[in-house]
Structure 1
Amino acid sequence: MAEISGYAIQWGQPAVIAGLFEESFARGAFNQSLLDHPDVVVLWAHDPSRPLARVSNKSLTIRSDSIGLWYSFQPDDKSPLGQEALASVGSGLVNEVSVGFSSIEEEWNDSGRIPKRTITKAFLGEISIVLWGAYGQSTSAELVGRSTAASKAEAAMRRRGISTT
């Protein structure tokens, strides 16, 4: 079965949020959340009506490592949304990730041109596959382990004039 994986967040990588402040996550910012609320979900573009995977049904694996918050999930290649995710990520059309989170503890530094916020502890609700994430290329969504079923689905789409590459 094909998987989509990558980093939802890399520790210490900054993003400018709405031109107002710079934000980054401290290493392990989601560790407590992953213990207390492990049933994280993957959504398509933050849309709760378009779920792709979740921890509780074992289609999503997520962990905090030395680089950042790593994830891997297996979309249902029999569903239209799963096929769309596999095709869009597989072709490189969609390759960034965003996170739905709530800050619990944070530190601010106002000494620079714009304020800097470092999130040291946060609740993680979801990971979303998106076209443009706030953290840009420091996040990733890549297709790995192409399955026979995914290859058959891509062949069927190509026969119908839907390009997968």
Structure 2
Amino acid sequence: MKTIDFEIRTSELTATDKKLVGYAVRWNSLSEIIWDEFREQFAPGAFKDSLASGSDVRALYEHNYTQLLGRTKSGTLVLSEDDTGLRFELTPPNTQLGNDVLALVERGDLSGMSFGFRALKESWDIAQ
């Protein structure tokens, strides 16, 4: 199996009408401190080319490829950029895992999600 290095970040999550909705990224907002080392932020349009490429993006539970919750290819995961950031809508399957995830979000036990990405262009400011 081919492995690809990618970054993992955390974001907020809410459940509405059997969908999980939120922002994986909010533009120009500093992230929480990552690995006790750094913070990051994304500029508007950071995902424009990736979204336009039509790549099949998968939503996985705990980054586990055997626990698929949705994918862009099937339309069960919708990603889009707007004035706020990178927005997602996920319609989990009517399976034990999908129903468990929805229930955990509705109860407030699960309030965040993380996303993986590969930085194609980056800059660092070590003065902060």
Q: Tell me, yes or no, whether TM beats 0.5.
A: yes
Could you report, residue by residue, the CA deviation over 1:39-81 in whole angstroms, capped at 9, with x for unpaired residues?
111111111111100111111111011111101111112x111
| Identical-pair percentage | 32
| Structure 1 stretches of at least 4 aligned residues deviating more than 2 Å after TM superposition | none
Larger-Rg structure: 1
Unpaired segments of 5 or more residues in structure 2? 1-16
- 1:90 match: 106
- 1:159 match: none
1:62-101 alignment runs, 5 A limit: 62-77=79-94, 79-101=95-117
33-42 vs 4-13, greater mean Cα deviation: 33-42
- Residues of 2 paired with 1:61 and 1:86: CA distance? 17
The reply to whether residue 57 of structure 1 matches residue 64 of structure 2 is: no
- Residues of 1 paired with 2:38 and 2:76: CA distance? 35
Unpaired segments of 5 or more residues in structure 1? 113-165
**Aligned length in residues:** 111
Counterpart code for 1:44: Y
Aligned Cα root-mean-square deviation (Å):
1.3
- TM-score relative to the length of structure 1: 0.63
Counterpart code for 2:59: V
- 1:47 match: 64
Could you report, residue by residue, the CA deviation over 1:94-117 in whole angstroms, capped at 9, with x for unpaired residues?
1112111010001111222xxxxx
Larger strand proportion, structure 1 or 2? Answer: 1
The reply to whether residue 9 of structure 1 matches residue 25 of structure 2 is: yes
What SS is found at the alignment partner of 2:66?
Answer: strand
